[in-house]
Amino acid sequence: MSKQGVPSSDAVDQPVLVKAVSISKRFGEVLANDSVDLTIREGEIHALLGENGAGKSTLVKILYGALEQTSGDIVWRGNTVKIANPADARTLGVGMVFQHFSLFEALSVADNIALALPKDTDLKALPERIISVSKKYGLPLDPNAMVADLPVGVRQRIEIVRCLLQEPSLLIMDEPTSVLTPQEADELFKTLQRLASEGCAILYISHRLEEVQRICQRATIMRHGKVVNECDPRQETPASLARMMVGADVHAIKSTSEITTGNPLITLRDLNLPADNAFGIELKDINLEVFAGEVVGIAGIAANGQSELFDAISGERRVENVHAVNLLGVPVGKKKINPRRKLGAAFVPEERLGHGAVPGFRLSDNVMLTRFSTEPSLLLRGILKRGNAAEMEQRIKVNYDVRMTHDNPEARSLSGGNLQKFVVGRELDRKPRVMVINQPTWGVDAGAAALIRQALIDLARTGAAVLVISQDLDEIYEVSDRIAVISRGQLSPAEPANVMTRERIGMLMAGMGEKNTSKSDEGQAHAARA
CA distance 187 to 444: 26
**Residue among 441, 440, 401, 438 at smallest CA distance from 422:** 401
Q: Is 146 exposed, middle or buried (CB count within 10 Å of its CB: 0-12, 13-18, 19+)?
A: middle
Is residue 99 packed enough to be buried (19+ CB in 10 Å), middle (13-18) or exposed (0-12)? Answer: middle
Contacting residue, 106, 125, 248, 252, with other proteins by CB under 8 A: 106
Q: Applying CB under 8 A, which of residues 6, 15, 73, 104 lies at the interface with other proteins?
A: 104
Are 174 and 99 in contact by the 8 Å Cβ rule? The answer is yes
Q: Which of 221, 162, 216 is nearest to 192 (CA)?
A: 216
Q: Which residues pair with 81 in a beta bridge?
A: 74
- Is 115 a residue that touches other proteins (CB under 8 A)? yes
Pairing of strands 71-76, 226-231: unpaired
Q: Is 86 in the site for other proteins (CB under 8 A)?
A: yes
Asked if 87 touches other proteins (CB under 8 A), the answer is: yes
Q: Which stretch binds other proteins (CB under 8 A): 31-39, 99-107, 285-293, 466-474?
A: 99-107
- 279 counts as binding other proteins under rule CB under 8 A: yes
Torsion, Cα of 419, 421, 427, 431 (10° steps): -160
Q: Phi first, then psi: what are they for 121, rounded to 5°?
A: -60, 135
CB of 105 to other proteins, least distance (A): 7
Least distance in angstroms from the C-beta of 86 to other proteins: 3
**Near other proteins in 182-241, by CB under 8 A:** none
105 interacts with other proteins by CB under 8 A:
yes
Restricting to residues 334-353, name those near other proteins by CB under 8 A: none
| Residue 474 makes contact with other proteins by CB under 8 A | no
* Residue placing its CB nearer to other proteins in the complex, 98 or 442: 98
Per CB under 8 A, 116 contacts other proteins: yes
Question: Of the two residues 142 and 495, which places its CB atom closer to other proteins in the complex?
Answer: 142
Residue 86 or 140 with smaller CB distance to other proteins: 86
Q: Is 278 exposed, middle or buried (0-12, 13-18, 19+ CB in 10 A)?
A: exposed
Closest distance between other proteins and the C-beta of residue 153, in Å?
19
- When binding is defined by CB under 8 A, the residue of 125, 248, 252, 278 that contacts other proteins is 278
Q: What is the CA radius of gyration of the chain?
A: 24
d(CA 187, CA 185): 5
Chain-centre distance of CA 452, in angstroms?
Answer: 15
CA 38 to chain centre: 25
By the rule CB under 8 A, 66 interacts with other proteins? yes
Q: Residues 34, 37, 42, 111: which binds other proteins (CB under 8 A)?
A: 111
**Residue closer to other proteins (CB basis): 67 or 173:** 67
Range 132-151, binding other proteins (CB under 8 A)? 146, 148
Which residue lies nearer to other proteins by CB, 107 or 330? 107
- Burial-class residue 321 by CB neighbours within 10 Å (0-12, 13-18, 19+): middle
Closer Cβ to other proteins, 252 or 278, answer by number:
278
> Residue 7 or residue 28: which is nearer to other proteins going by CB?
28
By beta-carbon proximity to other proteins, the closer residue of 351 and 407 is: 351
Beta-carbon neighbour count of residue 119 at 10 Å? 6
How many residues touch other proteins under the rule CB under 8 A: the total is: 27
The yes or no reply on residue 124 touching other proteins (CB under 8 A) is no
The answer to whether 361 and 355 are in contact (CB under 8 A) is no
* C-beta of 62 vs 227, nearer to other proteins: 62
Query: What is the DSSP pairing of strand 465-469 with strand 434-438?
Result: parallel
**DSSP 3-state percent helix, strand, coil across the chain (nearest 5):** 35, 25, 40
- Tell me: does residue 67 bind other proteins (CB under 8 A): yes
Q: Decide: is 520 part of the binding site for other proteins (CB under 8 A).
A: no
d(CA 507, CA 530): 9
Pairing between strand 45-49 and 201-205? parallel
Given candidates 1, 12, 30, 123, which one binds other proteins under the rule CB under 8 A? 123
Residue 181's H or E segment, with its range, is none
| Binds other proteins (CB under 8 A): choice among 22, 80, 85, 399 | 85
Of the two residues 75 and 107, which places its CB atom closer to other proteins in the complex? 107
Contact pick of 107, 330, 358, 379 for other proteins (by CB under 8 A)? 107
Q: Does the footprint of other proteins cover residue 354 (CB under 8 A)? A: no
Reported as half-sphere exposure (CB side, CA atoms, 13 A), residue 150 has a value of 28
* Candidate segments 115-123, 234-242, 471-479, 500-508, binder of other proteins by CB under 8 A: 115-123
Spacing of C-alpha 415 from chain mean position: 15
Q: What is the Cα–Cα distance from 144 to 269, expressed in whole angstroms?
A: 40
Q: Which residue in the set 3, 7, 78, 119 belongs to the binding site for other proteins (CB under 8 A)?
A: 119
Angle at 27 between CA 25 and CA 32, to 5 degrees: 50
Determine if 114 is a binding residue for other proteins (CB under 8 A).
Answer: yes
Nearest CB to other proteins, comparing residues 5 and 274:
274
List, in order, residues 6 or more apart from 469 with CB less than 8 Å away. Answer: 297, 298, 300, 306, 309, 310, 350, 436, 437, 438, 439, 486
**Which of these ranges, 8-16, 85-93, 267-275, 444-452, lies near other proteins under the rule CB under 8 A?**
85-93
Decide if residue 277 touches other proteins (CB under 8 A). yes
| Nearest distance, CB of residue 155 and other proteins, angstroms | 12
Binding residues for other proteins, per CB under 8 A?
65-68, 85-87, 90, 98, 101-107, 111, 114-116, 119, 123, 146, 148, 277-279
